[in-house]
Amino acid sequence: MSLLKLQVAGAAVLKKKAAPVPEITPAIRALADDMAETLNVAHGLALAAPQVGEPVRLVVVDRGYLEWEALSEEERKKVRCDYRPEPLVNPEILKREGGEEELEEGCLSVPGYRAVVRRPRIVTYRWQNLDGKMHEKRAEGLEAVCIQHELDHLDGVLFIDRISRLKRNLALGKVRKFVEELDPEDDETEYRLYGKS
């Protein structure tokens, strides 16, 4: 597995609609493995292929964290949160329901910035696993937000495209500053994820 460079807001690949994965090849499996490794090192919840420069419809989600987050406060104290990445090939939302709610979002492609975004509360979505088997799930709360956020990436949309222009410009300024100030001696991990190749 390899650590992949994260693309940040302003990168052309993040504005493109990603292409469907026509066949699950060894290259797609390797990309999914590398994305899982990158997500783990970056301490993110999910990662879409365009965020690592690959314009294909592939997402990796940390199911371990989603399941842990869905537990009550009391249950979380008793259970360890394990990293359990799951690749979603050609994911799509079939249905949105339950009204809308606001939740603060962040993004590995918009480092150092968070904002409140309004999204449908419940989604039903489907995807293929790496063996080509179809799955379908109804999700709410953080999982519903996560899926909508990641599928936005596959359509060339960042969460900052869903907030005011003023806040979006503030976010872009923070991203530029973050990248300019990266120093391999201060934070080797961030430099490996975001720094120059």
Residue the block writes with tokens 């970056």 = 42
Residue 120: both structure tokens together: 């449908």
The gap from C-alpha 158 to its chain's centroid, in whole angstroms, comes to: 10
CA-angle at 176, arms to 173 and 177, nearest 5°: 85
Mapped onto helix, strand or coil, the DSSP state of residue 18 is coil
Residue of 150, 181, 185, 190 marked catalytic? 150
State the DSSP string of 81-139: ----EEEEEEEEEEEEEEEEEEEEE--TTSTT--EEEEEEEEEEEEEE-TTS-EEEEEE
Q: Does 101 qualify as catalytic in the annotation?
A: no
Strands 134-140 and 85-105, bridge-based pairing: unpaired
Q: Check the CA dihedral 113-114-117-121 and report its sign.
A: positive
Residue 159: both structure tokens together: 């969460």
Please give the Cα distance from 45 to 59 (Å, whole number).
11
Which sequence positions are flagged as catalytic? 150
